[in-house]
Amino acid sequence: MNSLVVLLFWAIIVGLGYFVYSKWVNQNIFEADPNRATPAKMYLDGVDYMPANKTVLFGFQLNSIAGAAPIIGPIIALQWGWLPAVLWLGFGVLLIGWVQDYSICMVSVKNDGDTLGALSYKLISPRSRAILLAFIYFYLLLLATAFGDVISKGLSGNAALPLPMLVAVGTAFLVGHLIYRSRVNILLTTLVAIVLIFGGIALGNYLPIRASYNVMLVALCIFAYFGATLPVWQFIQPYNYASVYVTYFGIITGIIGVLISAKPMTLPAVGSFNIGLGPLWPMMFVTIACGAISGWHSLVSSIGTSRQIENELDVRPVTSGAMFAEFTISVIAVIVCATAFTSNADYLAQLKAAGPVAIFTTGLGGAITSLGFPATFAQSVGGAMILILALTTINLVFRFMKVATVELLGGKVPLARNQHVAVLIAVIITFFLIKTGYWLYIWVLFGGANQLMASLALLLVTLYLASTAKNYRFILYPMFFMYISTVAAIFYTAFFKLLPPVFSGQLTGVKTVGHVLSATFGVLLIVLALILAYDGYQAFKKYRAANAALRLAEAGKTH
């Protein structure tokens, strides 16, 4: 099948989802009103609560939600075949993905810009806020582990990529200095950053740096440590700023390349139902998270975006627009990778040897080459883009884990209040998990934690709609689907994949500890999810009873 048919499917999903379904929900369920004051206007505090233009917010939302996950997830899921991956991406985003991003933002806007924790406290139960925080900590730990492994494997598997990454890190320090210390014009600074980063990408093939997986992993841990402890203006902010242009270039050239080359999909449309990771259901629905639906987005929508919304009508273009844009990135990732390999065996061999970064390097490289760029440069752009995106996430994750460690342990262990100790705790646990766990299972656990958070966000929206006596069914059924699929996937991974080799004696030493620890995290996530589901059901019953009483009272008044 030609890849343009997949693009046609993309266009239908975006058309139906954005222009029909989201418009209907916006008007009929949430009744967006341009005259109602938003939290950004009501509680303007000059920092968190600040109205922003909808296009600026769209860019902010897209940049915050789209990391490497919408690319890596679909690449791994190609093992089940590209058709199931494309169908889940399309129907996932159409029926669940945008609904979550939009509605949790709308609920937050209608509740004074409350965060997910505050909403849980208010709508579910007081203890749910603490459970959610523990949940997020494990989620971030698994995220750091999954991405850490992918990055180390990607850097050690391709000698052309370490140099561009080193140049990108150096450029970040330079950009920070130019903007904040030397006060150089932003346009000139941007130009210098672009020249340096793309120069580094071009030079990578001529100055290869070969290092083992372990060396790259240690280098990554050092990067994570400094990223989390240095002042944000010095490294993280300029790094994120400079890296945006590589992502821009990669996405735009990738889309044009796919359109121009119009290659046939060479990987099998449908692969085996049961692969090494497990059966298609439930495993594929957690392997592909971002691009279809992701709990991470609910954090961005409720914490970052909802407090900057200027007008209720802006919520739809900002949140669902960004979700469909991320869906586009995932579809492009599927197309470039499913058209780049002549056989399934090639794809599987490369995935096993060098991981998803190598697959994307070949895939996006192929698309960019069709625009006339040299193949080596094009492939390096693909590799650099995915690694830069993954490192951006690593920066954010360790920074937040530092704050979370101080908050969670600081009261009991005074030493944990020290930021260096807090970061080191997070780095050491992540290092241990990467070295002892099996990355594909860790990816599934991370995806599971992510999707459970999405289920929780959907539960919160259901409860909000139930409490305001509005139609909640359009969100209730997706919530059930996500919740059941995710719990089943985590359960399967913990009890059918991680623990059997431990009990059968196939593993020895620290590997045993790693598998047991990963399985324990999985079980813990399930227990936390079950407690939240129980509390959520109790709250739902309460709201339904209150609505029934209100209806009775109103009926009494009429008679």
Partner 1 sequence: MVDKAESKKKKKSGIFGFFKDLTYGMATHGMARQALKTRSSMEHLFILITMGDMLGVPILPPYYSLRLLPYVVPQITTWKRRMLREKDLMDSMF
**Polymer length in residues for the chain:** 559
Min dist CB 17 to partner 1, Å, is 20
Residues 286 and 446: beta-carbon distance below 8 Å: no
Q: What is the DSSP letter of 2?
A: B
Where residue 262 falls (left for φ over 0; alpha for ψ -120 to 50; beta otherwise) is left
Pairing of strands 278-279, 274-275: antiparallel
- 193: closest CA among 250, 249, 242? 242
Q: Which is nearer to partner 1, 303 or 494 (CB)?
A: 303
Q: Which stretch binds partner 1 (CB under 8 A): 71-79, 236-244, 339-347, 457-465?
A: 236-244
Q: Which is nearer to partner 1, 408 or 517 (CB)?
A: 408
Q: Which is nearer to partner 1, 138 or 492 (CB)?
A: 138
Q: Residue count at the site for partner 1 (CB under 8 A)?
A: 45
3-class SS string, 103-149 = HHHHHHHHCCCCCHHHHHHHHCCHHHHHHHHHHHHHHHHHHHHHHHH
Binding track, positions 47-86, relative to partner 1; x by CB under 8 A: xxxx-xx-xxxxxxxxxx----------------------
Torsion of CA 359, 1, 286, 347, to 10 degrees: -30
Instruction: Identify the residue among 10, 138, 241, 483 touching partner 1 (CB under 8 A).
Output: 241
442's CB contacts (< 8 A; 6+ apart) are 142, 145, 146, 149, 433, 434, 518
45 binds partner 1 (CB under 8 A): yes
Instruction: Identify the residue among 21, 400, 474, 477 touching partner 1 (CB under 8 A).
Output: 400
Identity of residue 37: A
Binding track, positions 119-148, relative to partner 1; x by CB under 8 A: ----------x---x--x------------
391 binds partner 1 (CB under 8 A): no
Burial 432-471 (b: 16+ CB within 10 A, else e): ebbbbbbbbbbbbbbbbbbbbbbbbbbbbbbbbbbbeeee
Q: Which stretch binds partner 1 (CB under 8 A): 5-13, 197-205, 295-303, 418-426?
A: 295-303
- CA-based Rg of the chain, rounded to a whole angstrom? 23
160 binds partner 1 (CB under 8 A): no
* Angle subtended at Cα 103 by Cα 102 and Cα 105, rounded to the nearest 5 degrees: 70
174 binds partner 1 (CB under 8 A): no
Tokens 């709201």 correspond to 543
**52, β-bridge pairs:** 309
229 binds partner 1 (CB under 8 A): no
Q: Which is nearer to partner 1, 116 or 323 (CB)?
A: 116
Instruction: Identify the residue among 71, 300, 387, 499 touching partner 1 (CB under 8 A).
Output: 300
232 binds partner 1 (CB under 8 A): yes
Q: Which is nearer to partner 1, 359 or 397 (CB)?
A: 397
**275, β-bridge pairs:** 278
Where residue 24 falls (left for φ over 0; alpha for ψ -120 to 50; beta otherwise) is alpha
Q: Which is nearer to partner 1, 220 or 404 (CB)?
A: 404
Q: Which is nearer to partner 1, 254 or 522 (CB)?
A: 254
Both tokens assigned to 376: 């080596």
Instruction: Identify the residue among 125, 229, 234, 237 touching partner 1 (CB under 8 A).
Output: 237
Q: Which is nearer to partner 1, 353 or 403 (CB)?
A: 403
Min dist CB 240 to partner 1, Å, is 6
Q: Which stretch binds partner 1 (CB under 8 A): 37-45, 375-383, 465-473, 497-505?
A: 37-45
Instruction: Identify the residue among 146, 265, 284, 303 touching partner 1 (CB under 8 A).
Output: 303
Instruction: Identify the residue among 73, 90, 117, 437 touching partner 1 (CB under 8 A).
Output: 117
519 binds partner 1 (CB under 8 A): no
Min dist CB 384 to partner 1, Å, is 17
Instruction: Identify the residue among 22, 79, 115, 311 touching partner 1 (CB under 8 A).
Output: 115
Classify the C-alpha dihedral 227-241-397-333 as positive or negative: negative
Q: How many C-beta atoms surround the C-beta of residue 542 within 10 A?
A: 13
155's CB contacts (< 8 A; 6+ apart) are 161, 162, 165, 211, 216, 219, 220, 387
Instruction: Identify the residue among 21, 173, 245, 477 touching partner 1 (CB under 8 A).
Output: 245
- 450: closest CA among 104, 116, 138? 138
Instruction: Identify the residue among 234, 240, 261, 419 touching partner 1 (CB under 8 A).
Output: 240
In whole angstroms, give the CA distance from residue 98 to residue 17: 8
Min dist CB 479 to partner 1, Å, is 21
Instruction: Identify the residue among 116, 168, 348, 494 touching partner 1 (CB under 8 A).
Output: 116
467 binds partner 1 (CB under 8 A): no
403 binds partner 1 (CB under 8 A): yes
Residues 327 and 89: beta-carbon distance below 8 Å: yes
Q: Which is nearer to partner 1, 71 or 86 (CB)?
A: 71
In whole angstroms, give the CA distance from residue 22 to residue 103: 10
Q: Which is nearer to partner 1, 165 or 299 (CB)?
A: 299
Q: Which is nearer to partner 1, 64 or 455 (CB)?
A: 64
Binding site for partner 1 (CB under 8 A): 43-50, 52-53, 55-64, 115-118, 129, 133, 136, 186, 232-233, 237, 240-241, 244-245, 248, 299-300, 303-304, 396, 400, 403-404, 407
